[in-house]
Structure 1
Amino acid sequence: MSFPFNDEFKEIIEISGEKNKVIHNEEANSLLLSLDSYSHDIKMEVLRRISFIKWIKPRLKGGWTQKNLNPLIDDAATQLKMAAPKWRTLAEWHKNYHSSGNDISSLIPKHSSKGNIQQHTDSDFLIKKAINEKYLTLTRCSISQTFKYYCDLVIIENRSLPENQIKSVSQRTFYNRINALPKYDVALKRYGKRYADINYRTVDRMVNVTRPLERVEIDHTPLDLILLDDNLEIPLGRPYLTILIDSYSKCIVGYNLSFRHPSFESIRHAFCNACLDKSSITQQYPHLQQDWPISGKIENLVVDNGAEFWSNSLEDSLLPFATNILYNKVGKPWMKPLVEKFFDLLNKGLVHSLPGTTRSRIEQLKGYNPKKDAAITFSLFLELFHTWIIDIYHMTSDTRETAVPYFKWQEGVTALPPLTYTDEEAQQLRIELGILNTRTVRIGGIFLYGLRYESEELSEYRKIWGSIDKNNLTLKTKTDPSDISHIFVYLTNESRYIKVPCMTDISYTSGLTLFQHQTAQKLQRTKTRLQIEHEKLADSRMYVENRIAEEVEKIKSSKKRTTKTTHASKIARHQDIGGHTQKSIQVPSEQSEIKKLNTNEHDVLNGWDEQFDDLEGF
């Protein structure tokens, strides 16, 4: 068996004669392997000690005394070509080796026990006080500042001690005390628990996967790049990228690129792109040298704790397709490492080399203005992005050269292909990945987002299953956020979806997205609020309140007040009290009433014949 070190070790081992063999090659090799955690110098020293012990032991007559050892030590040093130890040192080596049961670790030099190991001094309590109050705090004072604070504590403490004053330790000793503190505890006190957990975490093995799409990770990130509008060529800002990556092959399963903040709509587009066929990509970009065959039903989707992943819409959408949602632990992105690593590779491999990049940190710009230098349009970046994913990333091996993502996918698909979506299932997937709502069907249909949705089929369903005296027909709806001109309503008793158009304003909702509609509603509300003069409204409302209070007080103090309103209401109808006529009942005076009575009596007698000459007797 070949020896793992240079020729100097070969010289140690063999001396002629069976009795003269000190350490066999295999034994020395095993010895060195057991000392791999130690430095090269320590290994050499252990080999020197064991070589002297095994050379001298078969030749020694008597005990390990000075008289018996001194004649042999020089001969051993000559033949072993090693520095000779003192007889007492050699005897100590043998004693430790024998008492440990021939354990080689007993011959390891104890350098750590050398020097002054007494750390406790009369100022030990002041050292702890200075470290706890200055160094182990979130203000993160330096060791030098902490040492000065310690020296000040010693001076102040000695003022109260006329005798036996405290002697301060040296700066080197103080530094050693701090450097001996547990590193995790230091990070915990100076940087907080999250920082300490991240930097001193236990890295467990990755989840073992055996087939494609068994486990897929998803996450969002803002790209370190400012893109331009295709036509106007003005900066649009940094887009958000949503990526799904397969844990088995490391292939990119799907993506979404948008300027809107991560939301359920981002997940919807990315998931559809991941699950459905991507053969149209090679037709859209004919220069591609490879295809993008990754698609199928995802078994487990690993997500973080963003609000968009906790929505009811996502769980309800994936339930019919048996896709489990696995939530990553809060504040532990390293447990979802593949997608985080891909973002880093994308930045280094493509994004940071493009004009308009913002880099990962602002200090890396150093005078570079990405808005002025931006030159990549949105469509051009999509072309570059697809090229980099399909022709570069998928065809490049990992750093350990264990596999190429594209061929790893082909290998897995050959052995155990994932389930794929039929045309009918693909259509259902697009419907199910809509935004979930629950609404009551009323006269006029379903009211959602301030719009009215109605159809003959929905009306007929309400006639059959709706209640006569109550509006209790509640149905589940799915909305495609990219087009709100229609919704899909799930008919529970028939186990199917129907498409229900918007009846509010067909020209308005045609091709309108939910985001655009909500923005328009917000602008309309803002415009309405700006038209309202709140000070004048307040004055008017207070005037109404004051007038009511005055009238109530006036009526309470009036002696003529009556609780009966029947006759008064008849008089009000008779005299036509209203906003455009008289405002109060006219009470006639006594003279005018007598005169009116006499006039009426005279008129009646004078016209008696005219009034009754058309009457006929029985």
Structure 2
Amino acid sequence: MEGSTMGRISLGSGAKFLFDDRSFVIMEELEEDNFECKNLASGRKKVFPKQFFYEALEKGEIVFSEEGKNTTEEVIRKNIGADFSKLPDKQKDLAKFRLFAIEPLLALEDVKSLNPYVDARLAELNDGGYHHKGYNFSRASIYRWFKDYKQSNCNIWSLVAIYDKCGPKGKLINREVELIIQKMIDQYYKRREAVNPKDIHELVIYEIDKINEFRIDKEKLEYPSRATVYRRVQGRDQEDIAKSKKGGRFSYMKYLQVKLQKKPDRPLQRVEIDHTLLDLFLVDEEKKIPLGRPTVTTLLDVFSGYPLGVYFGFEPPSYTAIMHALRHAISPKNYIKELYPEVENPWLAYGLPDLLVTDRGKDFMGDNLEDACAQLNIKLEHLPGKRPWYKGAVERHFRTINQSLIHKIPGTTFSNIFEKGDYDPKKNAVMSLSQFLKVFHIWLLDYYAQDTNKGVRGIPSKIWESGIKTYGEPDIPTSKLQWEIALMKMESRTIQRHGIRMDNLFYQSPALHTLLRKIEVEYRNKDVDIKYDPSDLGKIYVYDPFEKTYFDVPCTNQEYALGLNEYAHKVYQRIANAEFNSVDLSALARAKKKVTDIIFDGKSFVGKIGRLLGVGSNQVFSDKPVRNQETVPSKSSINKNINIFEGVDTTNWRATSARKY
């Protein structure tokens, strides 16, 4: 089985997908959020509702095809694809340099002549001494990298050296189709303000249909995806912005200087992420023991002011929190009506960001996030230190949570109680995580998203809907399993006869044993790349360099490891070492039992119980199975009299202001 690479697609005409072992292509977007699709084998047509695609993707039942070099084969295959992060450092570094080399040119695509821009960029690279740093480049190579990257829908795999060893080759956009796209942009987009990128895509399809009417099947043109057409339109827009200034090298450099500060003009163009600690103690649902104070990790769409995703957990800022928040952000929020029937409005925002903006916290600066973003084709930007105003949208959102939600909880505030040290969490903490999440969803979707937001000068839900209507559906991953693995933490381990050992846990399977035999024949080095979810050590994913795929390998002690988080495992190891002078599985199990007994007796670990138990919002909704549900229309007005605490016992609730890390 050959592997595919991780990619992103926009749901619309021309998108290919595999479902129930059958390949389809979306032919046309119909009214009422339906799509007419054609079976590529039989030619039969079938109508699928939009919600079907999102639910099937969430369940891992559908895989989308990609376009371009080093991406997906023309024949769609269902598999776990090649991971950019597993490449040798030299290959990754070279691919990232190539992206860096062409990055200023990407906003200038489809210009009549790239020559002055390429020459300007070449001069910059020469002035920067990159030849002396070991990078080879020329005018021709910059042109080639630019072409490959654009024709692969901006997939970083197209910039990886030794293409035949990095992934399956794909079909490039037909030159004739490219000319049709440019013709429609020239003829309609620049002359009629009412025409948007979605209209251009439909006009392109209409033109292709007219041409195909007189051609035999094997010579017919294929539809480009909506994402492809949108990128062509966007590139033409940026070209006009540059030309409206002084032209030549000056306008090119001037545009580069101001582009990062430009206000987003569409959803997902700029997304900010950050953490904040809530001064609110939560309790265990059943035992009512205090879990500690939750930290919320939020991704906010700057264009609309609409939250893209959240994660509430009890660990301090970490890649684990970032991973769960990204998972929630990318996924359509199909769980709302099942878990929270009281909520009147759907959670509209989802999809892959174009740009993810972070501060310079160590949790954001590691290799895990950098490689995940590269694999998901998300540009990552770390802001300069001590400049929080560069990330003002998410900062304002945290203040709104504090003032509009936390301070509305009945009862007195904590004031300076934490500083005085006289707060008793057992006495005051009465709200469970599930209760808080219910209140949060009502507040967020029925109040915050429906109210006027001064930062975006409008209502977030309406701005999001308007942006999607104009620019098309958000990009989504081509495969659920691929993007989940892309977000996991990465390590390198050696395969032994007994399997793989990671932090005194052992992982073994027949597939791993088969891989070991193949490696012993082909290589001397038995090291392999692995991915794992730090919130569940029950299994790891091992990269097969021969098949270019990942496969899962379970822990040999599922009773201990299933659902166990990385932090708790480290605590159990310390206890096993200190009290039992051993870290074998028996000692770990005894340590785990001892800690569990102490937790539920309420004798210790106050403030860290939630982290030890691995409690987080991902357990409540992110990983829930998706069921069919009716799409709820967004309300056009806000209910100012909404009682977000209806049905929840709020006696003795306490809170203080939310604190920023």
Q: What is the TM-score with the length of structure 2 in the denominator?
A: 0.46
Q: Which has the higher contact order (CA 8 A, sep 6+)?
A: 2
Report which of the two has the higher share of strand.
2
Report which of the two has the higher share of helix.
1
